[in-house]
C-alpha cells in the first residue's frame, strides 16, 4: 500500500469514527527477537521495505530464541507506559494481550481494505483476530517438526534420509561411530521443547492433539507419554557434553561446519544455513522429523501494534507492508518460513521452502495442521512454561520417563 493510500484509508476511517485521532508517526519502533545472523538478514528485508515507503525503523531487539525474554521486556515497557510501536508476538500471547490489556490497535481498516480475510488461513486468523477484529498482521508461518542434516555427514552415515524412528536411530548411531556429534542441540528449555513437539507428534497426531491442545490427563500421563520421554532420553545420548545454554544458532553452526550431524529445529534454522552460503540438497538437507511426514506443527510470527491514542499512519503502513504478497515472498525466502497468505507463488523459494509451502497447504487442507506447543500455538504461556519445566528437568536427568509423565500431568493441571 502506498503512503497516499494509507492517508486515504486514515481519512476515511476517521470520517467513520474508526479511530480516535490520525496522529502521524514517521518511525516505527519494533520489538522483536530476531538476533541471529539469518534472522537479522530477514529483519533487513523488512526494514528496507518500510524505508522505501518513508517509514523509519527503530530497532528494539531482545535476544533469546522463542521470544520468552522479549515478552518479559515488552511487559515491563508497557507497564512503564512506554509501549513500542509494534512487537513480534506468537499465538496465545497475542490472545492474552488482547484479552487482558486491551492495548492492541485495531487493524480492521487496513485488513478490510486489503482483503486479509480471504487470503489468511483460518488457523492463523484464530490468533490474528480478537472479537472479530484484526489485531495482528501475520508475517509468516514457521513449523517445528523439521530436521536439518549435514549432507556429507549423512552420506558418510549411509546416505539414506531417515523416514521413521528406527531409521533415525540407525543414522545417529552411524554418525556417532564416525566421530561427530550426531545431534547438535542447545540446552535451553524452549529448544528441548521444540524437539519434544516433534517427538510427541511422531507418536501420532491424535496423541499430540490430546496431550497439548486438549490437555487430556490420560494423554499427558499415559503410556505414550512415557514412550515420548524414553525417546527424549535416547536423543539426549547423541548430544555433546557442552550443550547446556548453547544458543540454537550455534547448534546450527555445528551442522553447517560438519562437527554436528543434524539439528532438530524449526525452519528458522534454514536462515542460518542460507546466511552461511549453503544450498539445500547440496550442503544440507531438510526432512520432516521421521514419522511426522504429512503433519505440521506450526507457529506464526505476527506483528501487533500498540494503541497509542489512535492508530498512526506508520503503523498502518507497516501492517500493510507486512501483508504485501511481494514482501511476504522476499521476507520468507530469507527467514526460512513460508508466507502467511495462500496466494503467494513458491517460484522464488528453494527446495526446502517449496516443500514447506506444499506441506503446510496439504496439512491445512487435510486436518494435519496443529499449533506448536513449544512456540505458543497450542496452549497459553502458563501451560507452555509448565511443560517446558518438566521436559527440561527430564532432559537434564532429574526425572526418569515415568516420573516425567506424572509430573507433566501435575504441572499442566496446576498451570490452568
Q: What does the binding site for ligand BGC look like in residue numbers (CB under 6 A)?
A: 33-34, 39, 65-67, 90, 142, 268, 299, 301, 375
Handedness of CA 315, 316, 318, 323 (dihedral sign): positive
Q: What share of the chain is helix, strand, coil (3-state, %, to 5)?
A: 50, 15, 30
Kindly tell me which of 45 and 413 has the beta carbon lying closer to ligand BGC. 45
Our CB check for ligand BGC shows the closer of 268 and 273 to be: 268
Q: What is the smallest separation between the CB atom of 374 and ligand BGC, expressed in angstroms?
A: 8
Backbone angles phi, psi at 194, to 5 degrees: -65, -40
Decide whether 373 or 404 has the Cβ nearer to ligand BGC: 373
Q: CB nearest ligand BGC: which residue?
A: 268
Minimum Å gap between C-beta 27 and ligand BGC is 23
Q: How far is the CB of 267 from ligand BGC (least distance, A)?
A: 9
Closest CB to ligand BGC among residues 33, 229: 33
Q: How far is the CB of 314 from ligand BGC (least distance, A)?
A: 22
Determine the Cα–Cα distance for residues 294 and 122; give it in Å rounded to an integer.
19
List the one residue out of 224, 154, 136, 148 whose CA is nearest residue 185: 148
Dig out the grid coordinates for 232 from the structure.
527424549
Q: How many Cα atoms sit within 13 Å of 92 on the Cβ side?
A: 17
Q: Which CB atom, from 224 or from 372, has the smaller least distance to ligand BGC? A: 372
Three-state secondary structure call for residue 309: coil
Q: In this complex, which beta carbon is closest to ligand BGC, that of residue 108 or of residue 302?
A: 302
- Spatial distance between the Cα atoms of 179 and 176, rounded to a whole number of angstroms: 5
Angstrom distance (rounded) from CA 368 to CA 269:
22
Shortest reach from residue 265's CB to ligand BGC, in Å: 9
Q: Kindly state the smallest distance separating residue 39's Cβ from ligand BGC, in Å.
A: 5
Q: Which CB sits closer to ligand BGC, 6 or 90?
A: 90
> Residues 360, 296: contact at Cβ < 8 Å?
yes
Output the smallest distance, CB 112 to ligand BGC, in A.
27
- The CA distance from 171 to 169, in Å, is 5
DSSP 154: H
Residue 84's nearest CA partner among 138, 25, 30, 22 is 30
Amino acid at each position: 500500500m502506498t503512503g497516499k493510500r494509507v492517508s486515504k484509508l486514515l481519512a476515511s476511517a476517521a470520517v467513520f469514527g474508526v479511530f480516535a485521532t490520525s496522529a502521524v508517526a514517521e518511525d516505527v519502533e519494533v520489538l522483536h527477537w530476531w538476533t541471529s545472523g539469518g534472522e537479522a538478514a530477514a529483519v533487513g528485508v523488512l526494514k528496507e521495505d518500510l524505508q522505501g515507503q518513508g517509514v523509519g525503523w527503530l530497532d528494539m531487539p531482545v535476544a533469546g530464541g522463542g521470544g520468552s525474554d522479549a515478552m518479559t521486556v515488552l511487559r515491563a515497557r508497557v507497564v512503564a507506559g512506554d509501549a513500542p510501536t509494534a512487537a513480534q508476538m506468537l499465538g496465545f500471547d497475542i490472545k492474552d494481550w488482547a484479552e487482558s490489556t486491551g492495548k492492541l490497535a485495531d487493524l480492521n481498516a487496513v485488513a478490510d481494505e486489503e482483503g486479509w480475510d480471504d487470503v489468511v488461513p483460518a488457523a492463523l486468523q484464530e490468533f490474528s483476530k480478537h472479537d472479530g477484529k484484526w489485531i495482528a498482521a501475520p508475517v509468516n508461518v514457521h513449523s517445528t517438526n523439521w530436521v536439518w542434516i549435514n549432507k556429507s555427514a549423512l552420506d558418510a552415515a549411509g546416505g539414506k534420509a531417515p523416514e521413521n524412528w528406527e531409521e533415525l536411530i540407525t543414522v545417529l548411531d552411524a554418525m556417532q561411530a564416525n566421530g561427530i556429534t550426531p545431534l547438535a542441540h542447545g540446552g535451553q528449555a524452549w529448544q528441548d521443547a521444540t524437539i519434544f513437539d516433534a517427538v510427541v507428534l511422531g507418536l501420532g497426531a491424535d496423541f499430540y492433539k490430546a496431550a497439548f491442545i486438549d490437555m487430556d490427563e490420560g494423554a499427558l500421563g499415559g503410556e505414550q507419554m512415557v514412550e515420548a520421554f524414553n525417546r527424549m532420553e535416547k536423543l539426549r545420548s547423541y548430544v555433546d557434553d557442552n550443550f547446556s545454554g548453547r544458543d540454537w544458532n550455534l547448534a546450527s553452526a555445528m551442522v553447517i561446519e560438519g562437527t554436528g550431524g543434524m539439528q532438530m529445529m524449526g525452519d528458522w534454522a534454514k536462515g542460518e544455513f542460507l546466511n552461511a552460503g549453503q544450498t539445500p540438497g547440496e550442503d544440507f538437507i531438510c526432512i520432516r522429523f521421521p514419522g511426522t511426514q504429512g503433519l505440521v506443527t506450526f507457529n506464526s510470527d505476527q506483528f501487533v501494534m500498540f494503541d497509542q491514542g489512535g492508530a498512526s499512519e506508520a503503523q498502518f503502513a507497516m501492517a500493510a507492508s507486512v501483508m504485501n504478497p511481494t514482501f511476504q515472498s522476499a521476507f520468507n525466502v530469507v527467514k526460512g518460513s513460508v508466507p502467511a497468505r495462500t496466494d503467494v507463488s513458491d517460484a522464488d523459494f528453494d527446495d526446502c521452502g517449496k516443500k514447506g509451502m506444499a506441506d503446510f497447504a496439504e496439512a491445512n487442507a487435510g486436518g494435519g495442521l496443529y499449533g506448536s506447543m513449544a512456540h505458543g500455538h497450542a496452549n497459553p504461556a502458563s501451560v507452555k512454561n509448565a511443560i517446558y519445566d518438566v521436559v527440561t528437568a527430564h532432559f537434564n536427568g532429574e526425572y526418569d520417563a515415568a516420573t516425567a509423565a506424572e509430573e507433566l500431568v501435575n504441572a499442566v493441571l496446576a498451570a490452568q
